[in-house]
Chains A and B, each alone.
Chain A
Amino acid sequence: MEAFGEIFQYILSGFSTGAIYALIGFGFAVIYNSTGIINFAQGEFVMLGGLATIFFINMNFPLPVSVIFAIATATLTGVVFERLAIRPLKNATPLNLVLITIGASILIRGGAMLMWGKDTHVLPSFSGSDPIYIADATILPQHLWIFSITVLIIAASRMFFNRSITGKAMRACAYNREAAGLVGIDVKKMVLFSFIISSAIGSLAGIIIAPLTMSSYDVGVMLGLKGFCAAIIGGMSNGAGTVIGGLLLGILESLGAGFISASYKDAIAFIILLLILFFRPEGIFRKDETERV
């Protein structure tokens, strides 16, 4: 019974980190699907979300206002990045795109370090930190925030991609950019939109997890990579695949940390990443499509 309680606890906490990975992975997928770019700077938006919120709170803005300002800061960064580095790039080979997004991630991280130093900062929980008991396990109110915001975001973006004209246009770009351009969709605008959505969601993920993990200028690297891992498990989808990928990763990581070794927790995510890339690079849900060379 005790073991069961333990497992339940691990799964619960895995769920909440998994939800975060799913949100970050979602950001990867949105940009990848409309541009074919894996944005290595994705994690930096997450970092910006957390640190900027703390910054605005320290300037005595109330939490909701700080959150909005922080999202705006990250989104603005995303827009500037797209405008200055992605759009003008002439020779957009995959290699150059990898390097330019890495360059941007270094730059954003460096900027954050200049601005907020190397120390870790703490964002207080949104509504206290008295644990809530569920069966043998406990969760924090912040976990509930994480779950509900994740569900909300995923639901909202499903609506957006399935119902709204802009969302549909972005999906069209994902299927076939040239054809989308031919039927009159402004592909460049869709690319910009994808950066906006992705940086906004990324920063939100960073904000809701900040009370649990502490924030510093370099948290984006790991979080970003794990978000990518979630997206890869889910086959780079704009929808459920990435969510399941994130939850799966979060739970595996949490169980691995609990039963195998806490110090190798981070390694677990990367071993999963390698295994997926080696054996099922199209994700674990998608059926094998006829390969094209």
Chain B
Amino acid sequence: MLEIRGMTKKFGGLIALDDVSMSVGKGSITGIIGPNGAGKTTLFNIVTGLYTRSSGEVYLEGTDVSGYAPENLARLGLVRTFQNVELFGRMTVLENVMVGLHTRSRSGIFSCSLKWPTHIMEEKRIRDEAMQRLEFTGMTGIADIPAGSLPFGMGRRLEIARALAPGPKIMLMDEPAAGLNSRETLDLADLIRKIRDAGTTVVLVEHDMELVMDVCETIVVLNLGRKLAEGAPREIQENPAVIAAYLGEE
């Protein structure tokens, strides 16, 4: 589904990522872990087109998408969520999800301005679809509330609903459990599995080991910009290099 080859990123003299390669199987849940500063978020930002890379390639279903802009990647079915939750705060919950359907609709500035019949029909369709997504993530009751007034956990859920809206092939989640309480984290684990079962491949960067060990089938460990290990949760837990890297940080 997603393949990263020899990804390298330099910030001035600092090497944030050094020749990282990994591949993500279709329909899997993959976790990327590592101590702070390991380059996890940098890797996400490059794959989703927010940062430019120094060298290396990204393949999405076999097509080379290295250096694609985020909006083009979205069109190809790659979406993401953010560590700090990036919502459209002044728009309602429903409208947020409707923006998520941007790539699944096509009305332009003229048909929108003039309320063309095609636009009215499309509007009804994406409204219905957005409502379905809210149902999927359990947020039906709050569709008309401004997103900015949601509590943090809810905001996170909304961001996931928005990313899921277009029915993406693959979703990258940047620390989805950060700031959630244990109850919300459990719900999140269920949601992640539900998303995968609905046909979206999931990759997550996460610090919450319990969550990662619980939901991920494969785990990639980064340390100081390099790939340290890759394998099933059990293997990773027993890997001496990984243990050393984590202990070294403490």
Q: Do A and B bind each other?
A: yes
Residue positions of A touching B, CB distance < 8 A = 289-293
Contact A290 B12, beta carbon cutoff 8 Å: yes
Residue positions of B touching A, CB distance < 8 A = 10-12, 45, 50-52
Closest partner residue, chain B, to A289 (CB atom): B12
Closest partner residue, chain B, to A293 (CB atom): B50
Interface of A is mostly: loop
Interface of B is mostly: loop
Closest partner residue, chain A, to B11 (CB atom): A290
- Most chain B CB inside 10 Å of its own CB: which residue of A290, A291, A292: A290
Complex: A268 Cα to B144 Cα, angstroms: 51
Query: Can you list 11 A-B pairs with a CB-CB distance of less than 8 A?
Result: A289-B12, A290-B10, A290-B11, A290-B12, A290-B52, A291-B51, A291-B52, A292-B51, A293-B45, A293-B50, A293-B51
Complex: A196 Cα to B50 Cα, angstroms: 38
Complex: A79 Cα to B34 Cα, angstroms: 48
Closest partner residue, chain B, to A287 (CB atom): B12
Complex: A175 Cα to B158 Cα, angstroms: 35
Complex: A290 Cα to B15 Cα, angstroms: 12
Inside 8 A of A289's CB, which chain B residues have their CB? 12
Closest partner residue, chain A, to B14 (CB atom): A290
Inside 8 A of A293's CB, which chain B residues have their CB? 45, 50-51
Inside 8 A of B51's CB, which chain A residues have their CB? 291-293
Closest partner residue, chain A, to B45 (CB atom): A293
Least distance between A192 CB and chain B CB atoms (Å): 30
Least distance between A86 CB and chain B CB atoms (Å): 24
Inside 8 A of A290's CB, which chain B residues have their CB? 10-12, 52
Inside 8 A of A292's CB, which chain B residues have their CB? 51
Inside 8 A of B10's CB, which chain A residues have their CB? 290
The 10 A-B residue pairs with the shortest CB-CB distance, nearest first, are: A293-B50, A290-B11, A290-B12, A293-B51, A291-B52, A289-B12, A290-B10, A293-B45, A292-B51, A290-B52
Complex: A293 Cα to B49 Cα, angstroms: 10
Complex: A292 Cα to B50 Cα, angstroms: 8
Inside 8 A of B45's CB, which chain A residues have their CB? 293
Inside 8 A of B52's CB, which chain A residues have their CB? 290-291
Closest partner residue, chain B, to A291 (CB atom): B52
Closest partner residue, chain A, to B50 (CB atom): A293
Complex: A291 Cα to B51 Cα, angstroms: 8
Complex: A67 Cα to B84 Cα, angstroms: 51
Complex: A105 Cα to B14 Cα, angstroms: 42
Complex: A290 Cα to B13 Cα, angstroms: 10
Complex: A97 Cα to B12 Cα, angstroms: 31
Complex: A292 Cα to B52 Cα, angstroms: 9
Complex: A289 Cα to B45 Cα, angstroms: 17
Complex: A293 Cα to B52 Cα, angstroms: 9
Inside 8 A of B11's CB, which chain A residues have their CB? 290
Closest partner residue, chain A, to B16 (CB atom): A290
Complex: A291 Cα to B49 Cα, angstroms: 13
Least distance between A178 CB and chain B CB atoms (Å): 15
Least distance between B235 CB and chain A CB atoms (Å): 35
Complex: A289 Cα to B10 Cα, angstroms: 11
